[in-house]
Structure 1
Amino acid sequence: MSAEAADAQPNDAGEWSAEAANDPGGEGQSAERILNQDEIDSLLGFGLGEDDAAGRTGVRAIINSALVSYERLPMLEIVFDRLVRLMTTSLRNFTSDNVEVSLDQISSIRFGDYLNSIPLPAIIAVFRAEQLDNFGLVTVDSNLIYSVVDVLLGGRRGSVSTRVEGRPYTTIERMLVTRMIEVVLSDAKQAFAPLTEVDFKLDRIETNPRFAAIARPPNAAIVVKLRIDMEDRGGRLELLLPYATLEPIRKMLLQQFMGEKFGRDNIWEGHLASELWNTKLEVRAVLDELTQPLHKMLNLKVGDTMMLDASPDSAVKLMCGQVELSSGRVGRLGHSLAVRVEKPISPASQHAVMKLGGGR
């Protein structure tokens, strides 16, 4: 190789490196590159906006995948749809105005995330589900609070209500909203009535989400977002039920349609009862039981006598299989031997006989 060619090689290598770095479509794409902040946020599932879809991608989607979807409880949609229809009628009677209630969304969320997402100021009502032995939340946003107060106190339609942000709600405002929440809880009781009887009792009213904690932050809950419109006024009302509250009636919520049977059938019960009355059972009257060696029993002959520890007046046991039903006295009725029952059949014996019959 000549000296001129050797001197040209380093220069050519430097030019190739510069061209590769400046060429975005060349082989330079295979080199490592640093992710920008937007790509990192997308990977982790954190967005700068308040879009709910930000938490459905990346690492946050994997973390939140442990939440149970409300779609696994199909009866909830029917219950909440019934609640919307009941609330429309009840709030019209309550406000004497044209009220429209619509169901915006049913979603699953962690309880701690929900408390952090409540827009303040707001009124949070803690209620107790008596038969389910747990609690729930009703959240009324500021727009709906001022609209209800304006309607109930005779405000004119079309007028914009005066709102002083940053001040606590007055006693009159709290009382009027409390009356509306009691109407909503009464409608919720009627909505759950086809499934089970449950009474929703208002426990307390809070304005600070920290004091409305009814479950641990990681616990899953169902949030129902309702939109209440009163012509040119309105706002949002949210109903939260932890999954722990719905657990006692989970089997009922798994129904695909209202009235689906899960084991109790009146027709089958009547048929089973009629067949049981016609069932024939073999009942034995046992005078006494005697334990003897096997060789002695094998050597028995005609005419041998075995002495029993029973007298003619001794009570005999009435047996069905290995179950003792009752006891009585031996006698004669016409040309047949008979047993007069002297004590009733115990419920435990009846249950044991039914199990014995079911096993056969």
Structure 2
Amino acid sequence: MGDDDFDDLLPNPPSMVAGADATFDQAGIDALFGFEESLAPVQKSGLKAVIESNVISHEKLPMLEVVCERMVRSFATNMRNLTSDAIDVNLEQISSTRFGEFMNRVSLPAMLGVFKVPEWENYGVVTVDSGLIYAVVDAFLGGRKGSNPVRIDGRAFTSIETSLVSRMVQLALDDFATAFEAIQPVKMELERVETSPRFAAIAGPSNLSAFATFRVDMEGRGGNFSILLPYATLEPVREKLLQRFMGEKMGRDRMWESHMAQSLFSTEVIVDVVLGEKHMRLQDVMGMQVGQTLGLNRGPDDPLEVHCGGISLGHAHIGQRCSNIAIRLATDISKGFSK
């Protein structure tokens, strides 16, 4: 069988595609073997496209930034007392992402601490990168200041390294819980430390989560760690985290509450006592003269209506006190107002 016989078996012989002396490029080869459709991007539609969309619509949580800023100050102080090193802690980023996307970005080797918040009945994750792991181990074991720790790739973390990093993670969680006290008292308990993101899956890949990334520097050594909380975990305090704030004052403003209460109690209110009502023709009203008497069908002991701004507040009896006309309430103001 000759070359011409092979050309007859091909759907588009080379002489028909690009000339007799032309060579195939990658596009021509793909077209020859029918790979164009398989290489085309798959168009997602429907609910799957919405779930896997890169565009994330999330609520900003202003109070969460305040909590993280407070946590930075306390964590830096506690780490200095624990290691006797000059430690600087900075808040790098606060954002939202999908849980699966965050886990896929974790650079291995790393440690992932799964912690539980009993008051919220849910979990969170703390990720510690390798740079911070070796820096913490070196600092706790008395390494020389200013020297970069030796990083050994290709081996698993030892039990000593895991124990020392777990100590630092629990310290960070305690400071994070302390910063949350102004919003809601909580406890954050480290349950386990994993080295694979698959074993730290506490939520679905498409679940929205809020995370905060912190940078820890220890005299020329250090790294990053992140605290990730799914929105399902933050749901019990979502309304409080959405609150706006002035400066670093958190929660309710007691000063303005006290000022408003004092102002309301010292406000003068004009109260009208209705002795009676009578329907009259306009002609009779225009004909009224000085000294004319009107019958209101009210006795001395009958209760009178007390009005404020045209609204009935309750009933009272009329009398005299210290040569002045006075009234004594027969019903509570609140009960009369509700009617």
Taking structure 2 as the reference length, what is the TM-score of the superposition? 0.60
Show CA shifts across 1:52-82 (max 9, x none).
xxxxxxx8998111343x8x55675565455
Trace 1:172-321 onto structure 2 (pairs within 5 A): 173-174=162-163, 176-189=164-177, 196-208=182-194, 209=197, 212-231=200-219, 233-244=221-232, 245=234, 247-252=238-243, 258=247, 270=259, 274=263, 277-285=266-274, 312-320=300-308
Local SS of the residue matching 1:177: helix
Counterpart for residue 114 of structure 2: 125
Structure 1 residue 110 displacement after superposition: 0.6
Confirm or deny: 8 A CA contact 2:210 2:229 kept in the other structure: yes
Structure 1 residue 149 displacement after superposition: 3.9
Structure 1 residue 323 displacement after superposition: 4.7
Counterpart for residue 8 of structure 1: none
Show CA shifts across 1:112-133 (max 9, x none).
3334554466241314285x78
How far apart are the structure 2 equivalents of 1:97 and 1:223?
27
How far apart are the structure 1 equivalents of 2:336 and 2:170?
51
Q: Which runs of 5+ in 2 are unaligned?
A: 1-14, 44-48
2:113 counterpart letter in structure 1? I
Counterpart for residue 6 of structure 1: none
Confirm or deny: 8 A CA contact 2:114 2:125 kept in the other structure: yes
Find 1:165's aligned residue among 149, 155, 161: 155
Confirm or deny: 8 A CA contact 2:180 2:186 kept in the other structure: no
Structure 1 residue 312 displacement after superposition: 4.0
Structure 1 residue 240 displacement after superposition: 1.0
* 1:114 aligned onto 2:102: yes
Comparing 273-282 and 260-269, the one that deviates more = 260-269
How far apart are the structure 2 equivalents of 1:34 and 1:113?
30
Rate the CA distance shift 1:35–1:228 in 2: closer, same or farther, 3 A: farther
Counterpart for residue 313 of structure 2: 325
Rate the CA distance shift 1:137–1:270 in 2: closer, same or farther, 3 A: same
How far apart are the structure 1 equivalents of 2:20 and 2:241?
63
Rate the CA distance shift 1:96–1:262 in 2: closer, same or farther, 3 A: closer
Counterpart for residue 46 of structure 2: none
Q: Which has the higher helix share?
A: 1
Structure 1 residue 91 displacement after superposition: 1.2
Structure 1 residue 219 displacement after superposition: 2.2
Find 1:66's aligned residue among 48, 56, 61: 56
Local SS of the residue matching 1:218: coil
Rate the CA distance shift 1:117–1:314 in 2: closer, same or farther, 3 A: same
Q: CA RMSD in A?
A: 5.4
Comparing 332-341 and 103-112, the one that deviates more = 332-341
How far apart are the structure 2 equivalents of 1:211 and 1:17?
53
Counterpart for residue 125 of structure 2: 137
1:65 counterpart letter in structure 2? V
How far apart are the structure 2 equivalents of 1:273 and 1:337?
29
Rate the CA distance shift 1:343–1:20 in 2: closer, same or farther, 3 A: farther
2:117 counterpart letter in structure 1? R
Counterpart for residue 49 of structure 1: none
Local SS of the residue matching 2:333: coil
Confirm or deny: 8 A CA contact 2:127 2:226 kept in the other structure: yes
* 1:99 aligned onto 2:100: no
How far apart are the structure 1 equivalents of 2:126 and 2:336?
52
Show CA shifts across 1:294-319 (max 9, x none).
9xx76x999999895x7543444433
Show CA shifts across 1:178-205 (max 9, x none).
4322332343356567xx4344522332
Taking structure 1 as the reference length, what is the TM-score of the superposition? 0.58
Counterpart for residue 75 of structure 2: 87
